[in-house]
Amino acid sequence: MIHLTTNRLTQDTLDRQLLESLAHAQRPKTKAERQKPIYYALVLVSLFCQLVSFVLASCGVLFLLVTNFKSSTGWVLIVLAVIALVIIEGFVFIMLKEFHAERLDDKKVNKSTILLLAVAFCFSTPLTYVGTPYAVSLFASGPKYIDLDQIEAKLSGVITSDSLAISLQIKEAKNMALDVHAKNSYKGKTSRAARSTVKAYTMQKLALEQKLIDNLTQGKRVLKEALFNAKVSNDIIKQKHSIFCASFGGWLALVTVGAMVVLFGVRWYCEGWKRLYVVEGNIKLGVKDKSPLTPKESKDKETLTPKEVVKSEEPQSVNKIGFNPKDKGKEYKEGDILKGIAPRVDRVFIRKDNGTLKAYTRGGLNNLIRGSSQARKEYLETLKELLR
């Protein structure tokens, strides 16, 4: 019995935990919370774009310096070039952050900021575009050339072996002629009967010597032609490899330029999302004075502190049928929700230009949003998400 009661309590606890987990997962989320995965993905995209730009520009500069400078001076220039590229990419990052901070927080971007951002991109983008084809040449697998030494060694071996065989035949014919002469001579003169044999061996020797000369001449000509054809083939292979690197590098360079455009757009979205996330967080924490306002709206709120409360233009609406009686006599701040009981809908309190509060439904917020600034629109959209 105790065992069954324990199992039932354990099962009830697990069911309660599952229910709480599902309720938390299915709770209504704000706009910034829904877009959080997109934000993190785009942060990775922005880091990838800047990393690609830096790596390709660095590799291109490295290839040029290594190719043209073989001494220790080349390594010094490589270090200086890499440091310069790091500074340029860092400058791009800083100026993008400053540009969006002025655009979103100050509502106006200084001309000097725009100029410095343009200068940063004018250094970073061309370096990446020019360096990318050389980076491709650095990383691309080298072409497979024909081995000239192997061809020369092979043909020279054939010529040598043929010449050696002919030389042995020449030596043999010479020895045979001398042997016949030695056996058939008297006082240094060959006998009349053996003269034809000696002459035949002598002619054979001369023919073999001519054959040896012809064979060496032919072999040298074949070797020369083979080496020439191999060099031509190697030049064609090298040219094809250069054309491939230039073509692929050119397309990749255009992609990197597009990546810089994507970087600007991604940072535009991410900086806006961060401010929207802060606005929603301030609403949850009850900090109303940190919402994005236009200069006019900020001026209207200068006389109010975060703790000051302005009564609604519609305090009597709390007593109307359809609203929670517990809200009677309650004082409201901007962003507070006035709960409605069916058929009445929830309303959210928004501060008007004259400093007073007014409760708006979703439809009223839509009308208010259409006549507001961009930053104010995002703030009002966030408040609208709180209404059911």
pLDDT at 286: 64
Q: Where are the domains of the chain?
A: 30-285, 288-385
What's the pTM? 0.50
pLDDT at 320: 42
Phi, psi at 288, each rounded to 5°: -90, -15
DSSP H helix total and E strand total for the chain: 10, 5
- Residue 80 near residue 65 (C-beta atoms within 8 A): no
What tokens were used for 112?
């000097």
The beta strands (E) that lie in the chain are given as 185-186, 189-190, 337-338, 347-351, 357-360
CA dist 176 and 186 (Å) reads 18
CA dist 124 and 95 (Å) reads 12
Report the amino acid identity of residue 110: N
- Residue 133 near residue 250 (C-beta atoms within 8 A): yes
Q: Quick one: 20 exposed, middle or buried, by C-beta within 10 A (0-12, 13-18, 19+)?
A: exposed
Query: DSSP of 93-135, one letter per residue?
Result: HHHHHHHHHIIIIISS--HHHHHHHHHHHHHHHHHHHHHHHHH
What tokens were used for 89?
């990419």
pLDDT at 250: 81
What tokens were used for 342?
């069916």
CA dist 368 and 366 (Å) reads 5
pLDDT at 6: 60
As a dihedral over the C-alpha atoms of residue 256, residue 259, residue 263, residue 269, rounded to 10 degrees, the angle is: 180
CA dist 336 and 349 (Å) reads 6
Tens digit of each residue's pLDDT, the chain (388 residues): 555 556 665 666 766 777 767 666 666 777 778 888 888 998 899 888 888 888 888 877 777 777 776 666 667 777 787 888 888 888 888 888 888 888 887 778 888 888 988 888 888 888 888 888 877 877 777 778 888 888 888 888 888 888 888 888 888 888 887 887 777 777 677 777 777 887 887 888 888 888 888 888 888 888 888 889 989 988 898 888 888 888 888 888 888 888 888 888 888 888 888 888 888 777 766 655 444 444 444 444 444 344 344 444 444 444 443 445 555 556 777 777 777 665 567 788 887 777 777 888 877 777 777 777 766 777 777 777 777 5
What H or E segment, with its residue span, contains residue 189? strand 189-190
Contacts for 171 with CB less than 8 Å, ≥ 6 apart = none
CA dist 106 and 86 (Å) reads 29
Q: 185: which strand partners? A: 190
Contacts for 110 with CB less than 8 Å, ≥ 6 apart = 102
pLDDT at 73: 66
What tokens were used for 374?
């961009």
Q: Helices 362-370 and 374-385, interaxial angle, to 10°?
A: 170
